[in-house]
Amino acid sequence: MVETFKNYIAGEWVSASDGAVIENLNPATGEVIGYFASATREDTLRAIAAAREALPAWAALPGPARGAILDKAAQIIHTRADELAETLTREEGKTLAESKAEVLRARDIFRYYAGEGFRAGGEVIPANTPETLLFTKSEPLGVVAVITPWNFPIAIPAWKIAPALVYGNTVVFKPASLAPHTALKLVEILVEAGVPAGVINLVVGSGSRVGDTLAESKDINGLSFTGSYAVGTKIYEKTARNFVRTQLEMGGKNPTIVLNDADLDLAVDIVVRGGFGLTGQACTATSRVIVEQGIADAFAQRLAEAARTLRVGDGLQSGVQMGPAVSAEQLQTDLDYVAIGKQEGARLIAGGEPLRSERGFFIQPTVFDDVQPTMRIAQEEIFGPVIGIIRAKDFDDAVEKANQIGYGLSAAIVTHDLQKALRFADRIEAGVVKINEPTSGVALQAPFGGFKASSANTFKEQGQAARAFYTRTKTVYVRYGF
Ligand code: NAD
């Protein structure tokens, strides 16, 4: 019997007002694993109103008390880590080890922001007049809409919701319809930890019903979105009309440069982890490898071998190194790009085929060589395990090719040459720069966000940087000498 799950609005678990549901599939088997209430526009408006009503009391709660609730949430995530990881793999497809790492990261995010309850404040500034106190107060921004993608269904909600709550905001949370179960469990945990009614609201549903209602609302004060460039830009047009503070973190087409002096084993390992880890379904995944001419043949051969030996399968099974595409549509997109790459004249040296023997949405890890920077497979985000090798004359040519792109999220270089590594950090147009590490994987305590079309370039996420987005500053002048 497949279970049906509800939304959480104003402190109650509720069905959609029109009774509609969304089907949740296991991408490794194609089986239906749950039905989720598909919120309507009316449900979404009710969630916004509940968040508005709950705001004054939550904002008035002392920071340490809000932090204590987050700390409790972290403890519950820790206790339920194995179960959460299994839920995540079952609906999103990544391997159990990848899911477990993501769940523990979410736990740590809640721990980190629990501490912020003790720290968040303002500053005292020297005044121009005697006996005057001049200071700033950090206030909550207000009601915040959180819209998240399916590829990190607990970590991304955590890195938006934890700072939102600890800084005194109330939240309307719309997770991606492809991975709603992990999101729902996170909300359950927040409720169990003591988050009051109305402070967190869950509205699973489509972009056109729930997403548009949130983006068009005059009753929200902030909107934090992670997802594709196409959706992000549409949201921005709507929120701008109401001056709603907006944070958009979007797609990537992340390069890894491999220089002639690189250790081949290390370079291949870094590219395999960055490009095939999480089935290539990470905003920071490596999709372009720009290799200096002298090492290019050897590197291409080794990367193709590594791609062929990766074990692809159901992420719940032990020994599996790469799970399926998240959906039949995503698998089709991956295969379409393989066809486009061939048509464009790139040379397929590994993979490129679906795994027909499996029931789910599987594709082989894929490598193209002789990719030109202007080809579509080098310019457009595929969001699958498809890596293109671009050959470069020298370091300068490699950096130029790396920057020849509209996106600017993450970029890596593999080299022992300190001068070139640091020049790369100076010249690369990306918000995250990795030296001898994969493009994917970031520290939760450091600022995170892209440049160019990867971001609205307004506010960074994570670490202390999140505070700027989730608070507003009031400046207070107190003259006490007359
Ligand atoms: P998506 O843009 O299709 O969806 C993201 C969210 O927006 C989902 O919850 C979706 O339902 C919602 N949405 C869809 N239409 C909407 C609308 N009209 N109004 C408001 N919301 C709407 O992205 P996805 O397929 O879920 O995720 C993959 C994308 O996310 C990739 O482009 C990837 O690079 C990006 N991503 C970026 C980061 C980052 O931090 N930069 C992290 C992870 C994923």
The residue whose CA is least distant from atom 23 of ligand 1 is: 227
Q: Is the CB of 153 under 6 A from ligand 1?
A: no
The residue whose CA is least distant from atom 24 of ligand 1 is: 149
- CATH number, residue 122: 3.40.605.10
The residue whose CA is least distant from atom 13 of ligand 1 is: 207
pLDDT value at residue 195: 98
Number of domains in the chain: 2
Mutate to test the pocket of ligand 1, among 147, 177, 461 (most ligand atoms within 8 A of CB): 147
pLDDT value at residue 300: 98
Say whether both 147 and 246 belong to one domain.
Answer: yes
Closest ligand 1 atom to the C-alpha of 214? 20
Instruction: For the beta carbon of residue 197, count every other beta carbon within 10 angstroms.
Output: 15
Please confirm, yes or no, whether 283 is among the known catalytic residues: yes
Q: How far is the CA of 185 from the centre of ligand 1 (A)?
A: 20
Say whether both 64 and 142 belong to one domain.
Answer: yes
Q: Is the CB of 205 under 6 A from ligand 1?
A: no
| Residue 444 within a domain | no
The 10 Å CB-count burial string (b at 16+, else e) for 81-97 is beebbbbbbbbbbbbbe
Instruction: For the beta carbon of residue 125, count every other beta carbon within 10 angstroms.
Output: 12
> pLDDT digit of tens for each residue in the chain (482 aa)?
899 999 999 999 999 999 999 999 999 999 999 999 999 999 999 999 999 999 999 999 999 999 999 999 999 999 999 999 999 999 999 999 999 999 999 999 999 999 999 997 889 999 999 999 999 999 999 999 999 999 999 999 999 999 999 999 999 999 999 999 999 999 999 999 999 999 999 999 999 999 999 999 999 999 999 999 999 999 999 999 999 999 999 999 999 999 999 999 999 999 999 999 999 999 999 999 999 999 999 999 999 999 999 999 999 999 999 999 999 999 999 999 999 999 999 999 999 999 977 789 999 999 999 999 999 999 999 999 999 999 999 999 999 999 999 999 999 999 999 999 999 999 999 999 999 999 999 999 999 999 999 999 999 999 999 999 999 999 999 999 88
Q: How far is the CA of 292 from the centre of ligand 1 (A)?
A: 34
Q: How far is the CA of 225 from the centre of ligand 1 (A)?
A: 7
Q: Is the CB of 215 under 6 A from ligand 1?
A: yes
Q: How far is the CA of 150 from the centre of ligand 1 (A)?
A: 8
| Residue 416 within a domain | yes
Q: How far is the CA of 281 from the centre of ligand 1 (A)?
A: 12
Say whether both 204 and 315 belong to one domain.
Answer: no
Beta carbons within 8 Å of 20's beta carbon, 6+ residues apart: 37, 38, 40
Q: How far is the CA of 151 from the centre of ligand 1 (A)?
A: 9
The residue whose CA is least distant from atom 40 of ligand 1 is: 249
Say whether both 335 and 394 belong to one domain.
Answer: yes
Q: Is the CB of 383 under 6 A from ligand 1?
A: yes
Query: Cβ distance 289 to 255 under 8 Å?
Result: yes
Say whether both 246 and 267 belong to one domain.
Answer: no
| Residue 440 within a domain | no
Say whether both 428 and 459 belong to one domain.
Answer: no
User: Domain span at residue 260?
Assistant: 254-435
Q: How far is the CA of 226 from the centre of ligand 1 (A)?
A: 5
The residue whose CA is least distant from atom 17 of ligand 1 is: 207
Say whether both 364 and 461 belong to one domain.
Answer: no
Mutate to test the pocket of ligand 1, among 36, 98, 161, 226 (most ligand atoms within 8 A of CB): 226
pLDDT value at residue 1: 86
- CATH number, residue 274: 3.40.309.10
Cα–Cα dist 46/34, whole Å: 24
Q: How far is the CA of 148 from the centre of ligand 1 (A)?
A: 6
Say whether both 123 and 262 belong to one domain.
Answer: no
| Residue 449 within a domain | no
Q: Is the CB of 194 under 6 A from ligand 1?
A: no
Q: Is the CB of 380 under 6 A from ligand 1?
A: no
pLDDT value at residue 482: 83
Q: How far is CA 457 from CA 236, 390, 477, in A?
A: 12, 28, 32
Say whether both 472 and 418 belong to one domain.
Answer: no
- Unique residue bearing structure tokens 């395990």: 385
Closest ligand 1 atom to the C-alpha of 175? 9
Instruction: For the beta carbon of residue 18, count every other beta carbon within 10 angstroms.
Output: 13
pLDDT value at residue 121: 80
Say whether both 406 and 462 belong to one domain.
Answer: no
Please confirm, yes or no, whether 353 is among the known catalytic residues: no
Q: Mapped to the 3 state alphabet, what secondary structure does the chain carry? A: CCCEECEEECCEEECCCCCCEEEEECCCCCCEEEEEECCCHHHHHHHHHHHHHHHHHHHHCCHHHHHHHHHHHHHHHHHCHHHHHHHHHHHHCCCHHHHHHHHHHHHHHHHHHHHHHHHCCCCEECCCCCCEEEEEEEEECCEEEEECCCCCCCHHHHHHHHHHHHCCCEEEEECCCCCHHHHHHHHHHHHHHCCCCCCEEECCCCHHHHHHHHHHCCCCCEEEEECCHHHHHHHHHHHHHCCCEEEEECCCCEEEEECCCCCHHHHHHHHHHHHHHHHHCCCCCEEEEEEEHHHHHHHHHHHHHHHHHCCECCCCCCCCCECCCCCHHHHHHHHHHHHHHHHHCCEEEECCCECCCCCCCCECCEEEECCCCCCHHHHCCCCCCEEEEEEECCHHHHHHHHHCCCEECEEEEECCCHHHHHHHHHHCCCCEEEECCCCCCCCCCCCECCEECCECCCCCECHHHHHHHHEEEEEEEEECCC
Q: Which residue is catalytic, options 91, 92, 98, 283?
A: 283
Terminal alpha carbon distance of the chain: 76
Say whether both 266 and 313 belong to one domain.
Answer: yes
Provide the token pair at 19: 């009774």
Q: Is the CB of 116 under 6 A from ligand 1?
A: no
pLDDT value at residue 30: 95
Q: Is the CB of 226 under 6 A from ligand 1?
A: yes
CA angle 85, 88, 93 (to 5 degrees): 115
Q: Which residue is catalytic, options 98, 249, 381, 461?
A: 249
Cross-strand bridge partners of residue 432: 410
| Residue 390 within a domain | yes
Say whether both 89 and 138 belong to one domain.
Answer: yes
| Residue 130 within a domain | yes
